[in-house]
């Protein structure tokens, strides 16, 4: 995916996406980070085709994004949002079957066997018959990821997937995302609010501030206190933690 001078502004909004030019690294994990209001989710929506740029263009495999049909988009990109409605009458397997509709007609019969590989990829194969509402927040997030994987997309987009999860489930989810990228060989694009999570899980990072792309670089090159202070407007110190590596902390 390529973004060429992409700009967008909501009506009456003070912040906007301003002439973003960048290429999503194929087969890698890309995190988009920045302070609140930087335009991270707006940029993600533009990349998904949920919003249309006022200026500039987004291409997928050389083809303008707006030229792709809804079915082509569903077979190319899958999206896991921050929040999902939890339906009391849906089982885990029913949610994942919805993801398979990208490859079937709406009236197709999708068997339980067809979705087992996607449940296995998120380690939920034993929970297929459970009601979605009976699962923990971390398990529910895995179900929605399985539904996204069932589309068999080339790119997986996640908007702040660790929101509302406790620390343990956040860690497990980041581990799962890295595992999926390695085993399924897909491109993953994350919006994250935790700098350390982003730099731990990602191969590449985009740093946004007030709708502008401030930095586009490998994650290992983002342990730069001066750069992070510029983006987040905070005092930043980078410390070395035994058996972990560099860790970013806010200082007064």
pLDDT digits (tens, 9 = 90+) for 114-143: 999 999 999 999 999 999 989 988 899 999
In a domain, 247, yes or no: yes
In a domain, 88, yes or no: no
Q: Residues 166-199: pLDDT tens digits?
A: 898 899 999 999 999 888 889 999 999 899 999 9
Domain residue limits at 31: 2-83+153-251
In a domain, 144, yes or no: no
Q: Residues 15-52: pLDDT tens digits?
A: 689 999 999 999 999 999 999 989 999 999 999 999 99
Q: How far is CA 187 from CA 29, 30, 78, 202, 223, in A?
A: 6, 8, 11, 11, 23
Q: Is the pLDDT of residue 106 over 90?
A: no
Q: Is the pLDDT of residue 228 over 70?
A: yes
Q: Is the pLDDT of residue 13 over 80?
A: no
Burial label, 107 (beta-carbon count in 10 A; 0-12, 13-18, 19+) = exposed
Q: Is the pLDDT of residue 107 over 70?
A: no
In a domain, 123, yes or no: no
Q: Is the pLDDT of residue 86 over 70?
A: no
Give the residue carrying structure tokens 């919805």. 98
pLDDT of residue 185: 87
pLDDT of residue 23: 98
Residues whose CB is less than 8 angstroms from the CB of residue 45 and which lie 6 or more positions away in sequence, other chains included: 51
pLDDT of residue 14: 67
Domain count, the chain: 1
Host H or E run for residue 118: helix 112-121
Percent of the chain past pLDDT 90, that is, above it, reads 74
In a domain, 173, yes or no: yes
Q: Residues 204-217: pLDDT tens digits?
A: 999 999 999 999 99
Region 152-158: mean pLDDT is: 95
Return d(Cα 67, Cα 57) in angstroms, integer: 11
pLDDT of residue 104: 74
Q: Which residues are bridge partners to 239 per DSSP?
A: 247
In a domain, 33, yes or no: yes
Return d(Cα 179, Cα 81) in angstroms, integer: 20
pLDDT of residue 252: 76
Instruction: Please report, for the domain that includes residue 241, its CATH number.
Output: 3.40.50.300
In a domain, 93, yes or no: no
Beta-sheet pairing, 187-191 with 204-209: unpaired
Whether this model's pTM surpasses 0.85: yes
In a domain, 122, yes or no: no
**For the range 179-184, what are the long-range contacts, defined as Cβ-Cβ under 8 Å and sequence gap of 24 or more?**
180/121, 180/122, 180/145, 180/149, 180/156, 181/27, 181/28, 181/29, 183/121, 184/121, 184/149
Return d(Cα 149, Cα 247) in angstroms, integer: 31
pLDDT of residue 35: 93
Count Cβ atoms below 10 Å from residue 14 Cβ, excluding itself: 9
């Amino acid at each position: 995916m390529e973004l060429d001078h992409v700009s967008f502004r909501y009506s009456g909004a003070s912040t906007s996406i301003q002439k973003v030019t960048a290429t999503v690294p194929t087969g890698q994990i890309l995190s988009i980070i920045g302070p609140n209001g930087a335009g991270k989710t707006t940029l993600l929506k533009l990349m998904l085709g949920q919003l249309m740029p006022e200026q500039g263009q987004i291409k997928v495999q050389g083809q303008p994004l707006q030229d792709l049909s809804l079915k082509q988009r569903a077979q190319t990109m899958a999206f896991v949002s921050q929040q999902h409605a939890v339906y009391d009458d849906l089982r885990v397997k029913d949610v994942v079957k919805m993801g398979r509709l990208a490859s079937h007609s709406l009236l197709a019969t999708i068997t339980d066997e067809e979705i087992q590989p996607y449940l296995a990829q998120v380690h939920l194969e034993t929970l297929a018959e459970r009601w979605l509402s009976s699962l923990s927040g971390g398990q529910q997030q895995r179900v929605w990821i399985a539904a996204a994987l069932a589309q068999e997309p080339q790119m997986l987009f996640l908007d702040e997937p660790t929101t509302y999860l406790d620390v343990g489930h956040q860690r497990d989810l980041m581990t799962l995302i890295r595992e999926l990228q390695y085993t399924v060989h897909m491109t993953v694009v994350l919006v994250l609010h935790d700098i350390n999570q982003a730099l731990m899980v990602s191969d590449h990072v985009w740093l946004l501030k007030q709708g502008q792309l401030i930095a586009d670089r490998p994650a290992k090159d983002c342990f730069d206190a001066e750069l992070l202070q510029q983006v987040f407007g905070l005092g930043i110190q980078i410390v070395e933690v035994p058996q972990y590596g560099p860790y970013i902390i806010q200082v007064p």
